[in-house]
Amino acid sequence: MISWGLQVILGWSLMIASFSLQRMGPSFERSRFAIPLGALGLAMMIFIPENKQYFEGGSGICQYHFCDSEIRELYLEFIIDSLIWISLAIIGLALVLRGSLYGDSKTSVAIVGWFLILASWYQITQIQLIASLVFSPIVIFWFIFVSIGIICASYLYFVIIRYSERRLIGEGQTSPLDEREMKMVTEIIRRNLRGDRQ
Task: Note if the pTM is more than 0.85.
Answer: no
182-197 per-position pLDDT tens digit? 889 898 888 877 765 5
- Phi then psi for residue 140, to 5 deg, are -60, -40
Instruction: For 126-157, write each residue's pLDDT tens digit.
Output: 877 776 766 777 877 888 888 899 999 999 98
In whole angstroms, what is the distance from residue 184 CA to residue 189 CA? 9
Asked whether 11 and 41 are in contact (CB, 8 A), the reply is: yes
Which distant-in-sequence residues (6+ apart) come within 8 Å of 40 by Cβ? 11, 14
| Residue 105 to residues 11, 88, 92, 101, 110, Cα–Cα distance (Å) | 40, 21, 15, 5, 8
* Backbone conformation region of residue 57, classed left if phi is above 0, alpha if psi is from -120 to 50, else beta: beta
Name the band, by pLDDT with cuts 50, 70 and 90, for residue 1: very low
8 Å CB contact between 45 and 11? yes
Q: 90-130: per-residue pLDDT in tens?
A: 999 999 888 887 767 788 888 999 999 999 988 888 877 77
